[in-house]
Chains A and B, each alone.
Chain A
Amino acid sequence: MKIEILGTGCAKCKAMHENVKLAVASIGGFHEIKKVEDIVEIMKYNVVSTPALVVDGVVKSSGKLLNVDEIVNILNSK
């Protein structure tokens, strides 16, 4: 999976990045985690509130700091 975290560098976005790392560690396997901070790139996903979580190019959540369990659920439902 390609997992992207969209955020302009706010505290919530950083916390989200950490949570994603933990979630990926707990589901195992090799996945690409990418932090997207460039606002022009973020706009391309049609997201207007950050942090947002994008999995394989599909926006799964926006404007919310998800906890590790929630991220695991999203990743497992793929």
Chain B
Amino acid sequence: MFDWLENLSAIFVYQILEIEKESNLGSALSFFIYDVIKIFILLIAIIFVVSFLRTYFNTEKVRVYLQDRNEFSGNILASLFGIITPFCTCSAIPLFLGFIQARIPIGITFSFLISAPLNNEIVIAMLFSIFGWKITAIYIGLGLFIAILAGFIIGKLNLEKYILIPVTPMEGELEDVKIGLSFKKRLDEAWQNTVDIFKKIYLYVILGVGVGAFIHGYVPAEFIAKYSGGDAWYSVLVAVLMGIPMYSNAAGVMPLVEVLTEKGMLLGTALSFVMAVTALSLPEAMILKRILHTKLIALFFGIVGFGVLVVGYIFNFILGGSL
């Protein structure tokens, strides 16, 4: 799909800048130009589409749909809503309490809270831009699996006592929420959102691709395989632990993951790493700490972390890490 761009950047580097062919500098530079432009085009397109679809949903609406759902089907539905509902970590507290207030069980609430950041538009767009739709679909599928199961388990553990702010459950049913927006207004909002996000992440993308291009051009594959563990048993565990503090830098981290997998890091390890970056977010934990007991947050992190690990290992085991 982007062959023309690859050729164009090669022509620019080798013929216009007259850098020697097969040189490390040439290889790194043409990769950098190609990758940055390709990612920018796809990022803008995908974030726009996702933002547009999301103008049809909001968390108030989701709350209405989730009220009075059974446990398991509720977990599935909540996880699915997590993909298409606009969600910001800063809203975690009102969302959590608002769901409990609507008598939505804590496990279903957590299914949503796990799925939403896991499927944020930046990660989806970056994954799609770099790895294509297959890996993106696998990522979303496995992410849903974790959100559904982790939420279900949390729901079974009777943890309501660890909510620190007393919430009085409301009586009766919520009324459906209407989002009355014209088509043009939706397009406007989606575009505005795309611009906002792009402004926030474009530097990280350039930085990430820059470092990636350097590795691509200068660091030999054996070196990466040796130090990223390759198929060693601990590589997934290390990847997950490294992913936790990198929250909100998904845009910068992803180009590195691309180069690392190209140079021998297994795909399961890479997927686990990306999931750890998005789902195990320290800022979200700090926000939730204001209303939830540390024990509950630790359990939440533990269960999700375990799920992310298992996914990585299974993936490496079944596919031998290649696709």
The interface of chain A, by Cβ under 8 A from chain B, is 8, 10-13, 39-40, 42-43, 46-50, 62-63
Q: Known: A40-B165, A47-B98, A49-B95. Contact between A63 and B59, CB under 8 A?
A: yes
B101 touches A8 (CB 8 A): no
Count class of interface residues, chain B: 20 to 34
Which chain A residues lie closer than 8 Å to B94 at the CB level?
A: 8, 39, 42-43, 47-50
A40: nearest chain-B partner, CB-CB:
B165
Which chain A residues lie closer than 8 Å to B58 at the CB level?
A: 49, 62-63
Shortest Cβ distance from residue A74 to the other chain B in the assembled complex, whole angstroms:
13
Query: What is the predominant secondary structure among interface residues of chain B facing chain A?
Result: helix
Complex CA–CA separation, A49 to B177 (angstroms): 13
Which chain A residues lie closer than 8 Å to B60 at the CB level?
A: 46-49, 62-63
The interface of chain B, by Cβ under 8 A from chain A, is 58-60, 63, 86-88, 90-91, 93-95, 97-99, 101, 165, 167, 174, 291
A10 touches B90 (CB 8 A): yes
Which chain A residues lie closer than 8 Å to B59 at the CB level?
A: 48-49, 63
Residue among B63, B90, B167 making CB contact with A48, cutoff 8 Å = B63
Shortest Cβ distance from residue B176 to the other chain A in the assembled complex, whole angstroms:
13
A63 touches B291 (CB 8 A): no
B101 touches A43 (CB 8 A): yes
Complex CA–CA separation, A47 to B99 (angstroms): 10
